[in-house]
Amino acid sequence: TAVPTITLNDGTSIPQLGFGVWQVPAEQAEEVVTHALQAGYRHIDTAAIYGNEDGVGAAIAKSGIPRDELYVTTKLWVSDFKAGSTHQALETSLQKLGLDAVDLYLIHWPSPADEKYLEAWKALEELQAKGLTRSIGVSNFLPEHLDRVAETGSVTPAINQVEIHPALQQREIQEANKKYGIATQAWSPLAQGAVFGDEPIVAAAEAHGVTPAQVIIRWHLQRGRILFPKSVTPARIEQNFDVFGFELTDAELDAIDALDRDERTGFHPAEFN
């Protein structure tokens, strides 16, 4: 299977479909990620706060897959940048992952009650210059936070990773990302299962002989977003990667676009401090 890649504003490229490991228990992470790599995934999305970087690292080491064929993202937790220990935080993540560098390092949340995320951004610029991460980006940044980074930073984020699924499409954020040349990653791309019964999704699944999860993954891919659905179930891990044998029609894509209804599974970034 050839997963399409997206070229980022720093010239690097990223596989459009990856595997997310939030809420994968630490003791299960090695096994689950091993299965994902066997199924063909080459892009893993983790974070320091997920507590499973060790297991991700163990699976990568065991896989024998050449480092340059893998794309690994981790994220800087809020308390680390509030404490001014961003460099230390990435060193710790790299040690757990068993890597010399990650492909992408993200500020996990802006936590905008103060503007410490702007200092964190400067630290990420330094970490990129030192070669400890190839690309740098942000997560859960609202347009106003992107504006502040643009005003005070030297490097434009390559990525903004935000909650996006059929029930929460975040058009304003996607527009702001586009304005800055920032690629959009969709977290909780399946809305954690909450939209599997929505009529246009069920109808497209029946029309193509696939599952609602596969329909939603295709919708993201065809709309140009990067995503990394999560599952710990082997058959679902495989199913979520088996999405390159069919294509949604424009009418099907439009019908899913029309499901937007401001329904979140997670926190609002302005309220998460």
> CA-CA distance, 192 to 185, in Å (whole number)?
16
Which lies closer to ligand NAD via its Cβ, residue 200 or residue 229? Answer: 229
Three-state secondary structure call for residue 74:
strand
176, 144 Cβ separation under 8 angstroms: no
Hey, which residues between 77 and 136 contact ligand NAD (CB under 6 A)? 108
- Return the number of the residue (128 or 211) whose C-beta is nearest ligand NAD: 211
179: Cα within 13 Å, side-chain hemisphere: 11
Shorter beta-carbon distance to ligand NAD: residue 174 or 240:
240
Instruction: Kindly state the smallest distance separating residue 218's Cβ from ligand NAD, in Å.
Output: 12
Q: Measured between alpha carbons, how far is 169 from 175 in angstroms, rounded to an integer?
A: 11
Q: Which of 50, 71, 105, 117 is catalytic?
A: 50
Q: Does 105 participate in catalysis according to the annotation? A: no
* Exposed / middle / buried, residue 199 (Cβ in 10 Å: 0-12, 13-18, 19+): exposed
Residue 60, C-beta contacts closer than 8 angstroms, at least 6 positions apart: 33, 37, 44, 70, 72, 97, 98, 99
How far is the CA of 69 from the CAs of 14, 99, 225, in angstroms?
10, 13, 20
Residue with Cβ nearer ligand NAD (4 or 193): 193
Query: DSSP label at 233?
Result: S
Q: Does 139 participate in binding ligand NAD (rule CB under 6 A)?
A: yes
**Binding status of residue 236 toward ligand NAD by CB under 6 A:** yes
Is 35 among the annotated ligand-binding positions?
no
CB of 161 to ligand NAD, least distance (A): 5
Please give the residues from 173 up to 232 whose contact with ligand NAD meets the rule CB under 6 A.
187-193, 211, 213, 228-231
Say whether residue 20 binds ligand NAD (CB under 6 A): yes
Tokens standing for 109? 């949340």
Minimum Å gap between C-beta 266 and ligand NAD is: 6
Q: Min. distance of Cβ 184 from ligand NAD in angstroms?
A: 12
Q: Taking the CB of residue 232, how many other CB atoms lie within 10 A of it?
A: 16
Kind plus residue range of the DSSP H or E element containing 104: strand 102-107
If binding is defined by CB under 6 A, does position 33 make contact with ligand NAD?
no
Binding residues for substrate: 108
Give me the active site residues, please: 50
- Which stretches of the chain bind ligand NAD, using CB under 6 A? 20-22, 45, 108, 139-140, 161, 187-193, 211, 213, 228-231, 236, 239-240, 266
